[in-house]
Structures are given as structure tokens and as C-alpha cells.
Structure 1
């Protein structure tokens, strides 16, 4: 097989190897839209509950379209500038984009499942409800949605029972939280050299997520518990997704994603076998001091250590040199 044909075949294998990941993202996103059509549980409430007496804000500080720009488009643009503009690596960009989409899809699906299951009333519930004057709670109980003059099947009432957790908060921490992890890895912020500016760059996206979450309490759309739990959910999802394709922030080579998925065997050339600690580099072992490529050393397949196979067009160490080095 010629080099050109081998490259084309490898590209096809590489694309196919990531199809399952993208399919999972699509399935979870589709599940979110399906779940979102399910009416939420209508939890009972008290007419005298002051935590749900706030006015209904017609205009939101951060509407959904703006949330998508802040927490989805901005991270994509930032990762493209770093991975393609600076590092000139499409694989780096793909790993970042896939991780971002995975984290967001996990977040929105879980958030919506909890929303319709919990059925907590929003802080502006009574304004949405528009109960007739003089309505009071039963002597030994609470009131339900049937006292409201607003139709129960209206969008404003259905949305009124989706307070917990905050979707804006979880989405913002998932998107901007992932961007923080991504930038932190690229800067090697835990390299023990004490560059404080790295901490500010790392914290900037998180600060944006916090402001988005706060805006939901200002608009009386969520209780503080809603935004807190939503933020934790989004941040955990972001870190989980980040670690699927990138090493930990404290790793020596946290600035590079895990290597592309190569087939384990091929009849058209040798492979370099390296362990997981080296698997963050694409066909290269970069000396952290000089920044130059150095030969990769294989490990014994029977050693029990985790292994990753890498295909190299120009083998770093051929069989003769390997035997000489050993």
C-alpha cells in the first residue's frame, strides 16, 4: 500500500474510531429534547411562601440564545485559536470540541431529568399562578396548581415547576468550566513555577459562569440552591468530559491531548509502543526541557503496563538501532 493510500486508510479508521463518541453526544442531546417535552411533576406549595412571591421577569438578563454564544460558541472559538492558530493541531481542536460537546450533552440531559422529576416551584411561581384573591392554604396541607387562573398546560406554568436545578447555571459551568480546564492544561498551570497570571486566565471563564448563575437569581428564575447544584453538576460533567481526552492538569504533558486512536496492528510499517504516561503525544516524545523530539522506547508487552499504539511514518527507532540502544 502506498503512503498516500495508507494515510487515507488511517484517516478513515481514525474517523470511525470517534464515531461512537459523537453518536453518544447526539443521543444524549436528542434525549434532552425528548425529555424537555415531558410535563414536570407539580409539587405542592404554600400561598404564604415568601420564597415564591417574587415578580415574573419578562426579559431575562441572559436569554437562551446569548447563553449558547457565551458557553458554547466562545469556548469553541477560544479552543480553535489555541489549537489551530497557535499549536497548529487539528487533533487538539477535535479533542477539545468533542470534550466540550460531551460535557454539555451530559449536563443538559441530567439537568432536564432532575427538573421534571423534582418539580420545584420557581421564585416567581405565585406571579405565574395568578391565584384568585382570598385563596388560602388548607388548614392541614398545602395548595396545588389547580388554584391558579393561568392554564396548567400553558408554557409559563409548565416552566414554573422547573426550578431545580438551574439549567443556565449547569450549562454555563459545563461550557466555561471545560474552557478553564482546557486553558489550564495548555498553560501547564500546575508546573510549580508560580506564574500567578495563569491562575487568572484559568479563573476567567469560571468567573463568567458565576455571573451567569447569579443572573438567574436576579431574574427570580431560581433559588440559590438551584444555581449551586446546577453549577456543581455542570463543573463535574465538564471535568469528566475533559479527562476522557486530556491528561490531568498536574500531568507533565497536560498541554497535549491523548494521542489519536490508531489501529493496534498494520502490515505497512512498524509501531512505537509506549505507556499511558507518554500517550498524550502524537507520534512524538517531546523533551520537556529542549522541546525537541526524542526517540520513543517501547515497553515489554508482557510487563502488565497499560499500552497505547502509535503509527509513525518515519520510525524513530528501527530494529537495528533498538537492539544497539538496548
Structure 2
């Protein structure tokens, strides 16, 4: 049976209605952003760093291969652009809304979790020595042998935020989204579809590897951060969308709830009114062309 899509549910016709239903979700999203912002003002835990420990923390302090300003581009703007392209083609505000909401929750929850853990753990970055002693001369407490940093305060503060890394949730959510839209698990064996799904995951992996190569993270930081990101992305996606291998895996749960509500309204109408309603709706329905 081909999947049917009502194309009249646009931002203009249903956008305000959908936003009102989820107004508290958006409010909590703003609060999450405020929480994450506040976490960046907290001084992380300064764990003991002795002179002998600096041997493993003396890697070069260099610029990122992928700069910080690029993170919102690949983690947020890239998925958003794909959501918008799908909306332009299919005019489904339910899909657009829940994709955007799920993406933002995925990114912000991951940020809050990783930033909170960073502040609590305070693991030094691999380049901590040069953050602590920019002139290359180590200064240590004569009693405890703990490092007495002489570098800039903000650079030292950032040097205590190695574990975990947090750059994968947006691309992880995008991989889930694409797998549902192209029906990668439709049991027809089109393995080429897997390449589309794996591409965001590959990009996320390469970003994580670049953080290790640039000596901003230990490999354990990236591994743990990737695990956190993919778990959060999966939960946030499945909160709004069915599993991609299900028959209805191409659209959000809210879309099918809307169809059920409209069907119940039709059943409550008189026969004559129901016929007119079906005639009007038939002009707004299209099939994407999937075969039975």
C-alpha cells in the first residue's frame, strides 16, 4: 500500500497550531540553553597535575583543524538545511517541526551532559602543559608537586575540559532522519542507501579524530563523547519518529495522530458532508510513488 501524504499541512496553515501544542517543549529547550550557558561560567574541577604527569600532557598547543565556529554549521545548520529541503518538497510541517525540535533537544541535552561532566571531572587536555606554562618553564608547588600555572586564566580553564568530547549528536540525529526518509531498511536490499546514512556518521567520526590529532582531546574523551552523543540522538529521534524499519518510519508520530483525528472527524460527519470533505481532501493528497 503506498504511503499517503496530505500536502496542505504547511507552516501557514498548521505551523502556529503545532507550535502551540509543543510550547512547553520549546520553553524547556530555552531553559536547557540557559543551563548550558551557565555551565560555561563554572570553574571546572582542578585535579592534581604533578610534574611527572606532564609527560603525557606536553603535546603541542595548536589551533583546531575544524575551528569552533564550524561546529554549529555541521551539527545544526547542515541538518536544518536538509529538513527545510524536505519540507519544500513535501510540505509537511509536522515533519519539519519535530525534526527541528528533536535536533535541538539532541544537541542541547548532549551539550548539558558533556559540559556538566567536563566541569565535574576536570581532566587536563593533552596540551595542558603549554596552556599552564606558555613559556615552557614548569613551576610546581614544593610541598605537593602540583602544577602552579602561569598562563592565561581562560586558556587554563579550557585546559581542564578534556573529558568528554561533544560534537556528534547533531550528525547522529541526521543519520537517523535520513534512514527514515530514504527507507534504508525497507527489506529490498538497496545497500547503496546505507552510504547516505553512514556519511553523517563518518563526518562525526572524522571530527572526533581531528580533535585527537590536534591534541585537544584524548581518544577516550572522543569515544565517550561519541557514545553519549549517539545515545542521546537516538532517544531524541525515537521520541518523535518511528523506527526506520517500520512501515510508517518515514513520518513523525504526530503526523499519523493527525490523520487519525481527521478520520474521526470524517466519521462524525453526515454522509453528504463526508463526500464533499473527501472530494476536497483528495485534491490535497499525493502518493510519493512507492509501490505496494
Indicate the TM-score class for this superposition, using the shorter chain for normalisation: 0.7 to 0.9
Q: Counterparts in 2 of 1:170-181, with a 5 A limit? A: 170-171=166-167, 173-181=168-176
CA distance in 2, matches of 1:218, 1:77: 29
User: How far off is 1:13 after superposition?
Assistant: 5.0
TM-score by length of 2: 0.81
| CA separation of 1:64 and 1:237: change in aligned 2, threshold 3 A | same
CA distance in 1, matches of 2:14, 2:178: 29
User: How far off is 1:16 after superposition?
Assistant: 2.0
4+ aligned runs moved over 4 Å, structure 1: 8-13, 131-139, 316-321
Residue 96 of structure 1 corresponds to 99
CA distance in 1, matches of 2:93, 2:180: 17
CA distance in 1, matches of 2:138, 2:193: 58
Q: Are the counterparts in 1 of residues 125 and 215 from structure 2 also a CA contact under 8 Å? A: yes
CA distance in 2, matches of 1:69, 1:124: 26
CA distance in 2, matches of 1:187, 1:225: 33
CA distance in 2, matches of 1:101, 1:235: 14
1:128 correspondence with 2:79: no
1:28 correspondence with 2:32: yes
The runs of 5 or more residues in structure 1 that have no matched partner are 1-7, 261-279, 284-308, 322-326
| CA separation of 1:132 and 1:217: change in aligned 2, threshold 3 A | closer
SS at match of 1:43: coil
1:244 correspondence with 2:245: no
| CA separation of 1:47 and 1:98: change in aligned 2, threshold 3 A | same
User: How far off is 1:317 after superposition?
Assistant: 7.7
Bigger RCO (CA 8 Å, 6+ sep): 2
| CA separation of 1:46 and 1:184: change in aligned 2, threshold 3 A | same
Q: Are the counterparts in 2 of residues 247 and 253 from structure 1 also a CA contact under 8 Å? A: yes
CA distance in 1, matches of 2:187, 2:216: 42
1:196 correspondence with 2:214: no
CA distance in 2, matches of 1:237, 1:253: 22
Q: Are the counterparts in 2 of residues 42 and 144 from structure 1 also a CA contact under 8 Å? A: no
CA distance in 2, matches of 1:9, 1:178: 27
User: How far off is 1:149 after superposition?
Assistant: 2.0
The runs of 5 or more residues in structure 2 that have no matched partner are 1-11, 273-292
| CA separation of 1:85 and 1:41: change in aligned 2, threshold 3 A | same
CA distance in 2, matches of 1:12, 1:79: 18
SS at match of 2:253: coil
Q: Counterparts in 2 of 1:154-303, with a 5 A limit? A: 154-166=153-165, 170-171=166-167, 173-259=168-254, 280=256, 282-283=258-259
CA distance in 2, matches of 1:80, 1:36: 31
User: How far off is 1:282 after superposition?
Assistant: 4.0
TM-score by length of 1: 0.73
CA distance in 2, matches of 1:313, 1:281: 11
Q: Are the counterparts in 1 of residues 18 and 94 from structure 2 also a CA contact under 8 Å? A: no
Q: Are the counterparts in 2 of residues 46 and 137 from structure 1 also a CA contact under 8 Å? A: no
1:51 correspondence with 2:56: yes
| CA separation of 1:134 and 1:175: change in aligned 2, threshold 3 A | closer
* CA displacement 1:28-80 (0-9 Å, x = unmatched): 111000111000000112323332110101x2111121111111100000111
